[in-house]
Amino acid sequence: MVGRGHQMPDISDIHLCLSQCRSRKIFFEVAYGLRDQGEKEKLGLIYSRINNPDLEILENRLTLWDEADDCAVFESGMSAITTAFLEFVKPGEVLLFSSPLYGGTDHFITQFMAQIGVIPVEFTPLDIEADIIQKIENTGMGHKLAMVYIETPANPTNTLIDIAMCRRIADHFKGDDRERVILAVDNTYMGPLWQQPLKHGADISLYSATKYIGGHSDVIAGAACGSKTVIKRMKVLRTFLGNMCSPWTGWLLLRSLETLKVRMERQALNAEQVVNFLNGHPNIEKVYYPGLLTPEDGHQYKVFRRQCTSAGAMISFDVKGGEKEAFAFLNSLRLVKLAVSLGSTESLAEHPASMTHAGVEPHHRELMHITEKMVRLSVGVENYEDLIWDLEQALQNL
Ligand SMILES: *Cc1c(COP(=O)(O)O)cnc(C)c1O
């Protein structure tokens, strides 16, 4: 500290002048969560499981759309989601979640979390605020609510869940002496461009970066965006679970971010054209797409206008008939591929009832209108006239 007099040096300068061992000690204190990171302090690059240049750059860039303080990237969407559960919900606590959820998340909550003593409470997009509060109160464990976890729009019906309402529910159950009830939103379907849950009161915006963010169907990755404190806790657990994104995946995602906006905008534009074609086609019974909501749809329309800046690029529709007709349609597609992922450059179609949502309890499937006649479409960046040509020829075969 030569020449600094009695002033306490800025901690970021310390690394330059301290002995190597002393600076490593300081790095580890932060990495292992023993001490808070100083305002200007940089996290040292001590070991790639904790952080590495590819991940740091990716995380910094991913904070931008959500306007988040910080971001943590993971090796899959599931690892981002499960790390949030494991960090913020403990045995004996209540986890409120919206249904239907992504199959992997649903399984983790109802099988794993329930088995370690967490009390899962489920609600559907059809439930209103008072119903949901009643559901939690009925458990007699409202004071133990630790997290509200939602997915909006719900897959595959595109029904929206009001994020601000979920914030109110979380706050309703937060006693004065308790930690904040965490509101986590799986933003894979609309994010990061068209919906920013943090702006509506969420604490964590979660992503399967395998989808839009990756966009090329060549990586599996996940991300969590949120406040400094929330992401710090997830990063410390990530260090010990070892489920951080690999540097190579991080590098590929940096490539993907270069085109994220143009890809998603093109996909949304294509989806709009596809919906214009599908809506009113004689072999189609109903199209599920937020852009078709009108003021007559009441709350759904209001939530859409408040929460989303685009109708997105995920479309579901019921063909006239049942499974036979839906399968005939899917088998006839020539450009659109039959596969379950979403958000990539290529258009994909699938049959939720027998594929992505095969594990959903039949009664729930019925309640949510996930019928045998439903087809889900993820619209890519192709020329929309080609997509419409393909859909038209496949519909003719019904
Ligand atoms: C794909 C997906 C996930 C899981 O992500 P992985 O990257 O496959 O682990 C979670 N939520 C939603 C909405 C998804 O579409």
Alpha-carbon 54 to chain mean position: 22
Residue 49 annotated in active site = yes
Residues 304, 171: contact at Cβ < 8 Å? Answer: no
Ligand 1 contact, 211 CB (< 6 A): yes
Taking only the tens place, the pLDDT of each residue in 28-53 is: 888 777 887 787 777 778 888 988 99
Residue 177 annotated in active site = no
Ligand 1 contact, 104 CB (< 6 A): yes
Q: Out of 102-116, 233-247, 356-370, which region has the weakest mean confidence (pLDDT)?
A: 356-370
Percent of the chain with pLDDT strictly greater than 90: 79
pLDDT band at 336 (very low <50, low <70, confident <90, very high): very high
> Per the structure block, which two tokens stand in for 29?
């204190």
pLDDT band at 179 (very low <50, low <70, confident <90, very high): confident
Radius of gyration of the chain (CA): 23
Q: Per CATH, the architecture of 47-257 is what? A: 3-Layer(aba) Sandwich (3.40)
Residues of the chain with CATH 3.90.1150.10: 260-395
CATH no. of 260-395: 3.90.1150.10
| 91 has pLDDT over 70 | yes
Residue 211 annotated in active site = yes
**What is the CA(212)–ligand 1 centre distance, in A?**
11
Strands (E), the chain: 70-74, 94-98, 119-123, 145-151, 182-186, 204-208, 222-226, 284-288, 314-319, 337-338, 348-350, 374-378
| 295 has pLDDT over 90 | yes
Ligand 1 contact, 208 CB (< 6 A): yes
Q: Cis (ω within 30 of 0) for the bond into 290?
A: no
Q: Terminus-to-terminus CA distance in the chain, angstroms?
A: 80
Go through the chain and tell me how many residues it has: 398
Q: 63 CB contacts (<8 Å, ≥6 apart)?
A: 69, 70, 71, 225
